[in-house]
Chain A
Amino acid sequence: MAVHGSRCAACKYLRRRCPQDCIFSPHFPSSNPQRFAYVHRIYGASNVGKMLERIALLKLDGFENDQRVPEFERSHVADSLHFEAKCRIEDPVYGCVGFISRLEHQIHSIESEIAMTRALMMMYESSLNRQKGGPSEH
């Protein structure tokens, strides 16, 4: 039932009636209009609706094996879309991929440091063993 004050953020943004079974309404409350504005800007309302509704929508050969997204997963879909949209707005070139790239660099950096630390440990242990054992007999 469309009452002007009870539309979700998506339907307000799209200036349309908000039906009782609106797919956006649980995930884009009217209290946070920016959330929908972000995802709409990057993905468009139609794509967001499809991604909320269907898992297999991205099978390019059709929807024969289409599955509906379980209700409990839809909030994760909405949240991740919002996160990625926000990343893309903040960083229009790399979006959240920039973050992934930095994490991978960090992983590489820590792995190198672990390797150096372990090499240093081996040197210390070797030195310690030499001190304990004394010079070897010929």
Chain B
Amino acid sequence: MGGNSPCASCKLLRRRCAKDCIFAPYFPSDDPHRFAIVHKVFGASNVSKMLQELPIHQRADAVNSLVYEANARVRDPVYGCVGAISYLQNQVAQLQMQLAVAQAEILCIQVQQEPMILPSQPPQPAATATGIMDEKSGFGGLLHNNVLPAQYLNFASSSNVTTTHVDSLKRESFLGHDMVS
């Protein structure tokens, strides 16, 4: 941002927007809500520290994910993103069951078509049906068996599930509410 046009952060913080302002590339002045939300949840100084610790080419993604988390916390002040994670994990579990049922039905049909051929081993679910929760989440042991700690499973969110804008993944909100951008 130029010296005459402070970014949204510096406007909110009521300070001069320096040429090398760390917030300016990611919080343009035409979207004041974006920084306001992040500032409310994380605090400007914490966000600044986080960005300073990252290489420049990763900062945009970091800011987008911080905005997402802040929005999630506004929508669901008790569970934040954890509510969305819990919902999605339940959805994965339900879909795995549907897949297992569908694969079992195919096996039945195959047996009907070739009754003389007996299966040599029990039917095995597809890799994706069992492998999902075994994938390394990248959190280095953060989660036991790559799922949320037990107290988060089946917790009803106190508010609506959020949508994601990360990596251009767009989904309709589950309960008809759009995430504030």
* Residue ranges of A at the interface with B (Cβ–Cβ < 8 Å): 41-44, 46-47, 51, 55-58, 60, 69, 73, 76-77, 79-81, 83-84, 86-88, 90-104, 106-107, 109-111, 113-114, 117-118, 120-121, 124-125, 127-128, 131
Does B132 count as interface, using CB distance less than 8 angstroms? yes
Q: A83-B149, A104-B88, A124-B109 are in contact. Are A69 and B77 (CB under 8 A)?
A: yes
Chain A residue, CB-CB nearest to B42:
A43
Known contacts A87-B142, A95-B65, A127-B113: does B102 contact A114 (CB below 8 Å)?
yes
CB < 8 Å neighbour of A83 from B37, B82, B92: B82
Contact yes or no, A124 B110, CB < 8 A: yes
Q: Give 13 pairs: A residue, B residue, CB < 8 Å, sorted on A.
A: A55-B77, A60-B37, A60-B40, A69-B78, A86-B142, A94-B166, A98-B138, A106-B132, A106-B135, A110-B92, A114-B98, A125-B109, A131-B113
- Residue pair A60, B85 in contact (C-beta under 8 Å): no
Whether B77 contacts A109 by the Cβ 8 Å rule is no
Q: Point out the residue from B41, B61, B69, B113 that lies within 8 Å of A124, measured CB to CB.
A: B113
Choose one: A77, A96, A101, A120; the contact of B167 (CB below 8 Å): A101
Are A100 and B81 in touch, CB under 8 angstroms?
yes
Contact status B110-A114, CB under 8 Å: no
Interface residues of B (CB under 8 A from A): 33, 36-37, 40-43, 45-46, 50, 53-54, 58, 61-62, 65-66, 68-69, 73-74, 77-85, 88-89, 91-92, 95-96, 98-99, 102-103, 105-106, 109-110, 112-113, 126, 128-129, 132, 135, 137-140, 142, 148-149, 151-152, 155, 158, 164, 166-167, 169, 171
Chain A residues near B164 (CB-CB < 8 A): 97, 100-101, 104
If over half of A's interface residues share one DSSP class (helix, strand or loop), that class is named, otherwise mixed; here it is: helix
CB neighbours (8 Å) of A55 from chain B are: 77-78
Contact A90 B140 (CB under 8 A): yes
Pick the residue among A81, A113, A118, A127 that contacts B80 (CB under 8 A): A81
Give CA–CA (A77, B78) in the complex, Å: 5
Q: Is the CB of B126 within 8 A of A47?
A: no
A102 to B92: give the CA distance in the assembly, Å: 11
Q: Name the A residues within 8 Å of B50 (CB-CB).
A: 42, 88, 92
Tell me how far the C-beta of B21 lies from the nearest C-beta in chain A, rounded to whole angstroms.
20
Residues on A with beta carbons closer than 8 Å to the beta carbon of B140: 90
Question: Which residues from A are CB-within-8-Å of B85?
Answer: 96, 99-100, 103
Please give, as numbers and ranges, the residues of chain A lying within 8 Å of B167 by CB-CB distance.
101
Contact A76 B78 (CB under 8 A): yes
Shortest Cβ gap from B18 to chain A (Å): 23
Complex: how many Å from CA A135 to CA B84? 53
Task: Determine if A91 and B151 form an interchain contact, defined as CB atoms under 8 angstroms apart.
Answer: no
CA A131 – CA B148 in complex, angstroms?
Answer: 49
